[in-house]
Each structure stands twice: as C-alpha cells, then as structure tokens.
Amino acid sequence: MANILYGVNGEGAGHSTRAKEVLTHLRQQGHSLHVASFDRGLLNLRDHFEVTEIFGFRFAYVNNRVRYKRTIAKNLVTMPQAGKSVREIKELIKSSKIDLVITDFEPLTCHVGHRMGLPVISIDNQHCLTNAVVSYPRKYHRDAAAAKLLTRLMTPHADAYLVISFFTAPVKKRNTFLFPPLLRQEILQAAPTQGEYVLVYVTSPAPLLAKVLSTVRGKFIAYGFGREGTEGNTVYKKPSLDGFLRDLTGAGAVIANSGFSLVTEALHLSKPYLAVPVEHQFEQIFNAYWLQKTGYGAYWEDLNKERVESFLYNLPLYRDKLADYPRQGNGALLAKLDDLIVEQRRAS
C-alpha cells in the first residue's frame, strides 16, 4: 500500500466534494492518506481525513463577477503563508514517507512533489481545456489563453492526467485519460423528481437577477443571494448542503452559475440548465458553452425576462436531450487510478 499526499484546491466546494469520493476509495484500498487543502476543502474534509491547512489562492467575487484588483489585494495579504506551506509540505513528505502525490488543481503539493522526485497524478476537469481537442467562441480567445496558461502553471508535468468531462472530446496528450464526471454518492443514489419550481444558485448576491426573476411567471427557490424568506414568486434560502440537495433533486430545472460540479450533478439528475457564467471566469464560460452545445440547456452572459421565459418554454426539448445523457458512476476513473498507483509503486 502507498503513502499518498492528496492536494485539494479549496476554492468552492467542487474540488473537495469529488476528492472526498476518491479519498474514501483510496482508504478502502488500504492506502495511508495525508490531505493538504484550504478554505472549503479544509472545512469539508477535516472531519473525515487528516488534513493539513495550506495557503490557497482565492478569487474575489462581486455581483457575479470576478474582481481582479480585489483578488490581487486579497491574496497579497496572505502570500507569506505560501512559503510557510511549502516548508510544511516538505516536512510532511519526509516525516510521512510519502510515495506519491495526487492533486486536484492544487499547485503547492504538485510543485513540492516534483522537487522531491515524487510521481504526481492530476485529477480535475480543468485540463480538458489544455489536454483535449475542444472548441469555444472566438470572442473568448484572450480569456481562453489566460485560462490555459493558469492551468499549465497550476499542476504542470504530472505523470498522468485523469480528466473528467460531461462531454466527449479527442485527447491530444499521451498521458491524459478522459472520464465521466466524479459524482458524490448522494447524487448517484438520488431519485430525482420533476417539481414545479426552478432552483436558482449564484456564487455571490446578484440583485439584478433577483429583479428579473420577480418579473417571470414561475416559482423559484434561490440560494446564494444573502437573504431568507419569500418575496413574490421566489423563496430565498440560507446555505444548507442537505436542503440544497433536496431542492436540486426535486427541481424542474436549474438557473445558476456554471461551476463544473453543479452542472454535472444537475445533468446526472436530468435537470435542464440555464447557465449564467461568472463574468471573466473562463472555466464557467467554457462549461456553459458546452452545456448549450450539447443541447442540455442554454447560457447567457446576463439574463432578462425574455431569456428566462425562452428557457422555460424550451424545457421539453432539453429534457428530451437529457434522456440520452450518459449516466455513469465513478468506477472507471477509480480503477484507472488504482492501476496507476500500482505502476508508480513498481517503478519506484
């Protein structure tokens, strides 16, 4: 069995949600696990695994838009922690006799692992952009170039890239393997129903969207707006993992930002999806573009009454397309990971 260091990006909940599934499998296989993460990753994993808190890069969001000046200022304040985290990771690798590193878009464990001569395995969705043949609108060329550069810098030169995607694409890197999305057990075991309401989710309060929803004929349950209670046709709710899962499972459709985890959970549960990508967040733009390209929903950079009503009118078309969505478990990726760990152990 191997001693594994698992780096988990803590920005948002998606990385830690899927990492938990992989970590649970690895523990069942008898491996010794040491997790390094921050923010949501730390909060979501520390009750289940041994987790070391490390420095993590965080985006600043205001009104559904990435604010780069605030992001830079926010991270400059905490930058000295990065050096401390590098030293802590080195010591952890030495004291725990780590055999290999697995990273979910977490750069420090990847870079330190390389420096110390350890094999590195990457598991994420971001490398679909760099390691597969994919398309996106021309107007996003500069954003795409920046996203590709960031992706290459975050976790470079991995011995293998296990890339998850909700659509198929030809792989162009020899050490890259494409798999269906990793989903938490609660989603895999859920029995979805088709309710009369639309689930709405935003990363940060979006008053303009709230105003649009108030003009649309329909019922909405909304998360992320920083308020509670019923206002007109919308029920606003506070954050709740269990409550959100219930509302997602029972929704008739979803209107939300286009983070990978929520998109793939909704598609698995046959929920048509109207995507509103966070502005200047190319990963979300990319997800939204392919969501529309595959026919599972639609996307707009901003919403108005007509666009929401058009989406609701076309729900039968999206549901027909979703009937053929390939719903698969996590088995294929986990089996490949097991094989890679055995190969790396034999090679060391």
pLDDT per residue as tens digits for the range 23-54: 999 999 999 999 999 999 999 999 999 999 99
Single-letter amino acid code for the residue at 137: P
**Are residues 296 and 341 both part of a single domain?**
no
**Are residues 230 and 343 both part of a single domain?**
no
Q: Looking at residue 278, which CATH number applies to its domain?
A: 3.40.50.2000
Q: In the chain, pLDDT over 90 holds for what percent of residues?
A: 80
At 276-305, the pLDDT tens digits run: 998 878 999 999 999 999 999 999 999 999
Residue 239 has pLDDT above 50, yes or no: yes
pLDDT of residue 146: 84
The three-state secondary structure class of 159 is coil
pLDDT of residue 212: 96
pLDDT of residue 300: 95
Structural domain span for residue 49: 3-182+330-347
State how many domains the chain has: 2
Q: Are 6 and 19 in contact (CB under 8 A)?
A: yes
Average pLDDT, the chain: 92
Residue 203 has pLDDT above 90, yes or no: no
pLDDT level of residue 61 (50, 70, 90 thresholds): low
Residue 73 has pLDDT above 80, yes or no: no
**Are residues 342 and 194 both part of a single domain?**
no
**Are residues 197 and 177 both part of a single domain?**
no
Residue 69 has pLDDT above 80, yes or no: no
Residue 76 has pLDDT above 70, yes or no: no
Cα 256–chain centre separation: 14
Q: In the chain, pLDDT over 70 holds for what percent of residues?
A: 93
Phi and psi torsions of 313, nearest 5°: -65, -35
pLDDT of residue 68: 45
pLDDT of residue 58: 61
**Are residues 241 and 264 both part of a single domain?**
yes
pLDDT level of residue 82 (50, 70, 90 thresholds): confident
Helix ranges, the chain (H): 14-28, 39-45, 68-78, 80-95, 107-115, 128-131, 141-154, 185-188, 207-213, 241-250, 260-268, 282-293, 305-313, 315-322, 331-347
Residue 62 has pLDDT above 90, yes or no: no
pLDDT of residue 60: 55
**Are residues 17 and 166 both part of a single domain?**
yes
pLDDT of residue 233: 97
Over residues 213-231, mean pLDDT: 96
**Are residues 171 and 210 both part of a single domain?**
no
**Are residues 250 and 303 both part of a single domain?**
yes
